[in-house]
Structure 1
Amino acid sequence: MPSWTDSLRFAFQPVVNLTTGGVAGLEILARPETGDILAEARRDPELDGRLAVSAVRAAARHETLLPLYVNVFAGTLADLGGLTSLHDAVREAGRLPWEVTVDICPPYTHVPQRALLEAVHAVREQGFRICADGIGDGDVPLRLLTDMAPDLVKLDAALLARPAAVRAMRTLCDELGALLSVEGVETELQCGAALAAGAQLAQGELFAPPARLPAADVYVPPRSPGLVAVPRSGPSVREFVRPAALLPATASAGQVRALLTGSPEVSGVLLVDRAGVPVRSVHRSRFLLSMSGRYGHALYADRPAAKLGDTPRTVGIDATAWEVLDVVAVGGRDRTSDDVAVVDRHGRCVGVVRLADLVRALAESRVEEAAGLNPLTRLPGSDAITGEVDRRIAAGRVFALSWLDVDHFKQVNDGAGFAAGDELIRAVGRALQQAAVGATRVGHIGGDDFLVLTDPEGLDPLASSVLDAPWSAGGRPVTLSLATVLCAPGSVMDHRDAAAGLAPLKKAAKALRGASWVLGRAGLSGFEIRRGAEDASAPAGLAVAEPGGG
């Protein structure tokens, strides 16, 4: 009698790193030639489990070194309580469990949540990584998603039409320590939307369709300059993680040589212990040079490869690109080209980063940043500040956005000359930079106008530093006006809302005599006068508090 496996084939679809353009892994997709075995597997957990095992064996036949993504229905996990047979199949294929991500697929309706969470814990304890699949188009409850604490969240591409939802999911992923991926990407427009919303990974027909053989190359659209604003603290190392070539710590030099000669794209091999923790790093060029020397093969082939390796350089998954450069900078120059191992909170290897990827990205961010600097003050323009405003809104952070300018600046230029006016603007810019501490960002948006983004606790020191200083231009005394809008989580939708809330406060500040500071709260009417004296031109219809009001 024919077996169900006789008509079953598997296809491979790359999961692409949107930052490096490299393949981060392969999702294994069942492709039955007859019948609907997936519908049967949804109803039969044992069958679904056998499909997962068959998928791993199919990948092993192609000897791919890439991480694998294996689909399993949520009901299967809850019913089986784990995937022991999959764990055994992975070991038999010569792979390590942490190289395999279990994509948990909907439906979740009627799946016992406690049993599912216990199974997820068991699978994670076996060493597998966890992916929540079908988010946005499936039925996974948000509370269950957070309780699962997946390593990866896959969104349906249809959600890209709602960028606020994707940005919110990126924020949730950051809190959970997960990566965000979009599946089903078919157009360059969707790819750009995924990047702009903060997705780190993607897959779909645009990059490479599912194929019987693992794809060696994928198409990634050119990245538009400035598409994704880079925080000053540096991009996260998560954006640059490449698959690692892993072998057990007990591997012989001959095994490492076979891997390297058969995979020219591999720049090095990490030797890991049974828990997946890197113990030695084998650099391709140095290793092959040792093996190709006189008597090299005879001396080393059967000896442990660890003898020809170095202490691995490691960074945590939450590190920034700058922190990776700090790790690379420590040690001899002969190791600057070594891959840096990226490890999770358990110390297990999740991939590697290459120095070239980091340098390229950081150089591009500096070029873009320099292009946006105001030539007079060398401060960034409004785009840098508004981009950071949007990030803080997405992160649910309270912040204060302030506008500052010189009172009657045209009269300053007319009376003291433009050179004195320019020098005054440069001095104000320097004072703001010196007062900017912690998360404070200062921008020069043109003329005598400045934007300042800070946490609420940084407002008073910043205001004092610029409003209490004796300003002058060409011997003429000058005063400044400051307007601030405090934005609590949920009070504004984006930077445009924040700017709209700032506009009437600016007008109110300019209506006061002397150095002035007006503070309001987004979504609420009225304002507080922190500095300055009222006069008859104060805006009508606004409640005015006494100076020093909290």
Structure 2
Amino acid sequence: MHSWTDTLRFAFQPVVNLRTGGVAALEILARPESGDILAEARRDPELDGRLVVSALRAAVRKETMLPLHINVFAATLADLGGLTPLRDAVREAGRMPWEVTLDVVPPFAHVPQQALLEAVAALRGQGFRISADGIGDGDVPLRLLTDLAPDLLKLDASLLARPAAVRAMRTLCEQLGALLSVEGVETELQCAAAMSAGAQLAQGELFAPPARIPMADVYVPPRSPAHGAVPRSDPSVREFVRPAALLPVTASAGQVRALLTCSPDVSGVLLVDQAGVPVRSVHRSRFLLTMSGRYGHALYADRPAVKLGDPPRTVGVDATAWEVLDVVAVGGRDRTSDDVAVVDHYGRCVGVVRLADLVRALAETRVEEAAGLNPLTRLPGSDAITGEVDRRIADGRGFALSWLDIDHFKQVNDSAGFAAGDELIRSVGRALQQAVTGHARVGHIGGDDFLVLADEEGLQPLVAAVLEAPWSAGGRPVTLSLATVVCPPGSVSDHRQAAACLAPLKKAAKSLSGASWVLGRAGLPGLEVRRGSGATPAQAGYAAAEPLG
């Protein structure tokens, strides 16, 4: 009697990193030659659990070092309370649990949610990574999705036709610390839409179809400036993570050499302990140079590879790309090309980052930002500030948005000349930058107008720098006006509403004599005149009893 395994085959489809263009992982797909074993597995958790183990073993037979994505029905996890056979199979294969991502697939209807959450927590505690699959084409409840707190969300490509929904999922991912992937990408237009929406990963026929042999080369359309990824002030290291080549810390130099020889794309090997914590980093070029030297193979082949490694450079999975560059900058110049290991909260390696990927992406970001810089002050324009305002609102963070300008600036230009006026604007811009370095954003929105985005506690250094300093142009004293609206979490819905709250405060500040500062709070009536004298806000046409916004 034939077993169901006799007619079951598996195909492998690459999961592509849209930032680097490289293959980030392989999803393993069951391909039965007859019957509908997947429909049976949906009804039979024990069968589905055996399918998961079979998928892992199929990947092991292909000798791929890439991380693996394996599908499992949500009901299977809830019913079995975890996948003990999978944990044993991973150990037997010599792989690490965190190299395996479990794609939890629909249906979710009638699945005991508490049992599912407990099973996911147990698997995550063992080191497995969790993906929520079928978003947009399945029935996963939004509340359950947030409770699962997956490491990865996989959207169906059909959702790309609804950009608002994709942006909402991107915001949710940022809240959860998860990556966003799009499945079923078939056209370059869909790929561009995925990039524009800020997805970091994707898979589909466009890049590579499922195949019996894992594919290392994929097609990724060139990035179009019109469809760049959602700009972020501090790109996350998660966007650049590549699969790591891992060997146990007990590996010999000969084993490392064999791995590097068979894998020309591997730039280095990390030697890890039993928990998956990097202990030593072996750089490809330096290692092979030592091994190829006179008597090198005879001297080192059977010796522990740790003797030829260096202390690993590591960053946390929550680090930014700029923090990775800080790590690279520390140490000798001979190690600037070393991979940087990315570790989770337990210190276990989840991948590596290559310096070239970071430099390329950050350079693109800087080019995009430069296009929006004001040519006079080299400060970003309003788009950069309003975009950051919207991100803070989406993150549920409070902020203080300030507008500042130079009083009677036309008279400054008329009396002192435009060159003196330009120098005054540059000086104010420099003072603002120096006052808020590291904890606020400054934008020059045209003419003598500036925007500053900061936390409320960061306002005092700003005031001291621009309102308490003496300003002059062509020997004539000059004063500045500052208006601030403090927006607690939930008080405004977007940057437009914040700007609407700021407008009457600006009018009130301009009505005062001398250096002035007016502060209001979104959603609350009234304002505070913290500096300045002369006309009252009511005389300026401001209704003090009317709530801002």
- TM-score norm. by structure 1 comes to 0.91
- Deviation at residue 278 of structure 1 after TM alignment: 1.3
Q: Deviations over 1:278-312 (max 9, x none)?
A: 12222212222232233333333333322322222
Distance 1:185 1:91, change over 3 A: same
- Which position in structure 1 is the counterpart of 2:372? 372
Q: Partners in 1 of 2:493 and 2:32 — Cα distance?
A: 46
Q: Partners in 2 of 1:51 and 1:536 — Cα distance?
A: 72
Question: Is 5-14 or 412-421 further displaced after alignment?
Answer: 5-14
- Deviation at residue 24 of structure 1 after TM alignment: 0.6
Question: Is 361-370 or 43-52 further displaced after alignment?
Answer: 361-370
Q: Deviations over 1:434-458 (max 9, x none)?
A: 3214421111122111111111222
Matched, 1:429 2:429: yes
Distance 1:427 1:338, change over 3 A: closer
Is the Cα–Cα contact under 8 Å of residues 377 and 444 in structure 2 kept in the other structure? yes
Is the Cα–Cα contact under 8 Å of residues 75 and 111 in structure 2 kept in the other structure? yes
Q: Deviations over 1:186-209 (max 9, x none)?
A: 344443443344332222233223
Distance 1:380 1:202, change over 3 A: same
Distance 1:307 1:479, change over 3 A: closer
Is the Cα–Cα contact under 8 Å of residues 78 and 112 in structure 1 kept in the other structure? yes
Is the Cα–Cα contact under 8 Å of residues 82 and 122 in structure 2 kept in the other structure? yes
Q: Partners in 2 of 1:127 and 1:491 — Cα distance?
A: 40
- Which position in structure 1 is the counterpart of 2:458? 458
Structure 2 SS opposite 1:380: coil
- Deviation at residue 241 of structure 1 after TM alignment: 0.7
Q: Deviations over 1:464-503 (max 9, x none)?
A: 4323433332233333222333333334333333334433
Q: Partners in 2 of 1:422 and 1:387 — Cα distance?
A: 27
Q: Deviations over 1:203-255 (max 9, x none)?
A: 223322322322222222333448346555x4221111100011222222222
Question: Is 43-52 or 420-429 further displaced after alignment?
Answer: 420-429
The CA RMSD measured in Å over matched residues stands at: 2.7
Is the Cα–Cα contact under 8 Å of residues 229 and 387 in structure 1 kept in the other structure? no
Q: Deviations over 1:54-110 (max 9, x none)?
A: 211222232211100000111111111221222233333342222111111122222
Q: Partners in 2 of 1:369 and 1:415 — Cα distance?
A: 35
The 5 A counterparts of 1:48-87 are 48-87=48-87
Whichever residue aligns with residue 386 of structure 1, its letter is T
For these two proteins, the number of residue pairs brought into alignment is: 545
Is the Cα–Cα contact under 8 Å of residues 403 and 483 in structure 1 kept in the other structure? yes
The 5 A counterparts of 1:377-396 are 377-396=377-396
- Which position in structure 1 is the counterpart of 2:27? 27
Q: Partners in 2 of 1:221 and 1:498 — Cα distance?
A: 38
- Which position in structure 2 is the counterpart of 1:345? 345
- Which position in structure 2 is the counterpart of 1:148? 148
- Deviation at residue 333 of structure 1 after TM alignment: 2.6
- Which position in structure 1 is the counterpart of 2:98? 98
Q: Partners in 2 of 1:129 and 1:536 — Cα distance?
A: 57
- Deviation at residue 276 of structure 1 after TM alignment: 0.9
The 5 A counterparts of 1:161-310 are 161-225=161-225, 227-228=228-229, 231-232=232-233, 234-310=234-310
Distance 1:409 1:541, change over 3 A: closer
- Which position in structure 2 is the counterpart of 1:496? 496
Unaligned runs of 5+ in 2: none
- Which position in structure 2 is the counterpart of 1:542? 543
Identical-residue share of aligned pairs (%):
83
Is the Cα–Cα contact under 8 Å of residues 501 and 522 in structure 1 kept in the other structure? yes
Q: Partners in 2 of 1:467 and 1:97 — Cα distance?
A: 58
- Deviation at residue 177 of structure 1 after TM alignment: 3.5
- TM-score norm. by structure 2 comes to 0.91
Structure 2 SS opposite 1:138: coil
Is the Cα–Cα contact under 8 Å of residues 72 and 104 in structure 1 kept in the other structure? yes
Distance 1:528 1:156, change over 3 A: farther
Distance 1:193 1:520, change over 3 A: farther
Distance 1:489 1:195, change over 3 A: farther
Structure 2 SS opposite 1:131: strand
Whichever residue aligns with residue 7 of structure 1, its letter is T
Matched, 1:414 2:414: yes
Distance 1:431 1:335, change over 3 A: closer
Structure 2 SS opposite 1:256: helix
Is the Cα–Cα contact under 8 Å of residues 167 and 394 in structure 1 kept in the other structure? no
- Which position in structure 2 is the counterpart of 1:548? none
- Which position in structure 1 is the counterpart of 2:122? 122
Is the Cα–Cα contact under 8 Å of residues 372 and 380 in structure 1 kept in the other structure? yes
Q: Partners in 2 of 1:280 and 1:524 — Cα distance?
A: 57
Is the Cα–Cα contact under 8 Å of residues 537 and 544 in structure 2 kept in the other structure? no
